[in-house]
Chain A
Amino acid sequence: MQQVDLVIIGGGPAGLAAAVAAHEAGIRDIMILEREAVPGGILNQCIHNGFGLHSFHEELTGPEYAQRYIDQVQALQIPIHLGTMVLDITAGKEITAVNKSGVLQLQAKAVILAMGCRERPRGALNIPGFRPVGVYTAGTAQKYVNLNGFMPGKEVVILGSGDIGLIMARRMTLEGAKVRAVVELMPYSTGLKRNIVQCLDDYGIPLLLSHTVTEIRGKKRLEGVTISQVDDKRNPIPGTEETIPCDTLLLSVGLLPENELSKAAGVELSPVTGGAVVNESLETSVEGVFACGNVLHVHDLVDYVSEEAALAGRNAAEYILHGHANGEGIPVCTQGGVRYTVPFSVDPHKITDAATLRFRVDAVYRERYISVYLDGERVLHRKKRILTPGEMEEVKIKKDLFDTHPGVGTITVAIEEG
């Protein structure tokens, strides 16, 4: 068994940024394990621009954004094992992986989970009908089109208005397909506003809110889909059925953090995020195992993934160099439309100048306040014109606030009307 200080599972944006930060914090014995043949993760197929506005103040494409981190990892000579699939992680931080050269068995001092997420498949939706060719997740189609250079079809319907669905509506149009409609179950899009404007409105692609696909037609090849309007409980309304002929149905119906390895290691997962329950250091319930990026919770912007991953990298380094000073974390509670926060608890002794809490809301809210309470006392109250489930929100709680409020029992993040 090979001893390694820090093993990072995943060489996408989270894993790369975590590696760079851990190196800067003094760790030299780092190994990144990446299952694909190239580093960069899903960014490699995101050839559209709009990445890096926050981190680099530039508009980069996905591959360009990834390259910035790949260059740093290479300059720092951090080893990255490509084509390497991790099969198992134990609570004792033993890692088993395979690649063309054989089986790797590693004993790590600390592990960073950065495996990303996967798309929710058709099966999870139980759309009735046949199972013909022509039904793909949006990400699979994105790979076919952007990396292989081939189109799955000519007449397209997209179910789900998450960002990948919106981006693919534009891409399929630019590459010569006719996108008939983007169909969204909810009364609002779960994608970024800028993507609705730039990917649908600019190309005259209709966005059908409060609609869903209720039947898949065609036995061998997709011939069309039946769509129906849904009521406020999201049930299809009889009599509203409409058939749209198409040869391709793309599904953009949610992303699921890919935590099978985390489960095997005994990491506690949140039923809300599907990711690990972490403290302010982004450490999971298993000591020395950290998580960041989309495996922790699904992000809207990669810039925040990088920022979060750097925090995980620094804290993993701190853990390797100085071990644990186990303090008591203050639990974070949510109220009034806040679905969850990451982290789930904060130990004031372990934050440098502020604790950043990221969260998502459960519906669209207009003219509301984000409030933070330390026990009963409101310490933060910020007006937001609009909050939507598609966009991640954040609040920062300054370290001083904890100094002036010693012995706090709970932190509460809430959406309030006044």
Chain B
Amino acid sequence: MRHTQNIRKTFARLEYTNKDMHKDTDKKLILWRFVYKNNVFSWETEKGKPSVTHSTIFLLLLRRFKKKTMSIKNTIKKIFQGKLPIALRNLAAAGAVFLLLDAACHLNPAYDWVWNVYIQANLREVSSLPHASLDERLTMKLGEDYQYVIFVRDATPSNSVIFYPSLADFTTVLPGNEKSPFSGKLTDKLSAIRILYPRHIVLEDEMGRTPWSFKITNVAIVNRRNVDKLPYQVPSHYYIGVLPTDSTMVNY
């Protein structure tokens, strides 16, 4: 019996023929012939080996032959020498690499942090709230400070000039030694501008030094600090918020 694989209109072909059983081992054999440009290579294998398709064998041989990167005999040997030991070797190597990486994670807390916190926990956190708004995502990172600044943003017109609290205002200790809810992450002027733009910001140390400090329209109040910047009395229960300098526009 003879089969021929003549693939992609090349002049190469691969033939394989069933041969009689080996008289000593009773194994069924196949006789192979690879023909390319008047070169004929023939060899024998056991039936069922290799477990790849005939067209794969043909393409591998043809590629090697055309590139001349490896002798055709070596290629034949490599293809038919059996994949099982190489597969086992790969599994062992991959397993060893995996164990090494795992050991590195256990030995070095920084790698452990990268893998378990930075990669996995972050992904879980992101997956848990996939549709959170931009403000919600920033609140997750910046906390109460951000919530306060977006409150100021939403409570003031876009052309307002806001007196903005300092770090000391944000972190001051409240009456009764109560801790301030703010951490002072957004006390830098540029950070505040990023959220409040196009509103203008004036800081304590700029008062009287810049033209904008004479145009303040709103005062941001945290922990009841800066109420003295307003030209009117503020109720004693008013601790956090933003109030206009114009008393006629006050709405508690």
Q: Do A and B come from one complex?
A: no
Binding site for B on A (CB under 8 A): none
